[in-house]
Structure 1
């Protein structure tokens, strides 16, 4: 939080809402050696019906989803 003196500006949006969310995760790995694996992981994340208050009191509601594909190396020691 930043304490800024009031300079007469009007906020253009308010996004402080709490909504249900979900995610699906999955992944596979392949051994590359005795203690090294190659990994591929997928994540699908979503939020259901977030609502944003815009300028002039208008409200915008839109579902939100995000996909992530990760490639990595895992070392066991």
Structure 2
């Protein structure tokens, strides 16, 4: 948990597993999609925790955020090479 807002949150097992799952993804994903994937993998995490974690990642710069007309999606921030 690299950023200041996320670092100030409690590091729970569910949040760590969720972050690992999120970081493995390449494409934009909605919170509901990530929640469904987590549950399919046996990670019992609440939808509110998924939303909160993704919003904090976006605020900290750890995720790119796409705000569509219907839903918001997040993806792992891609490394910038110079």
For normalisation by structure 1, the TM-score amounts to 0.22
The structure carrying a bigger helix percent of its residues is 2
Larger radius of gyration: 1
The structure carrying a bigger strand percent of its residues is 1
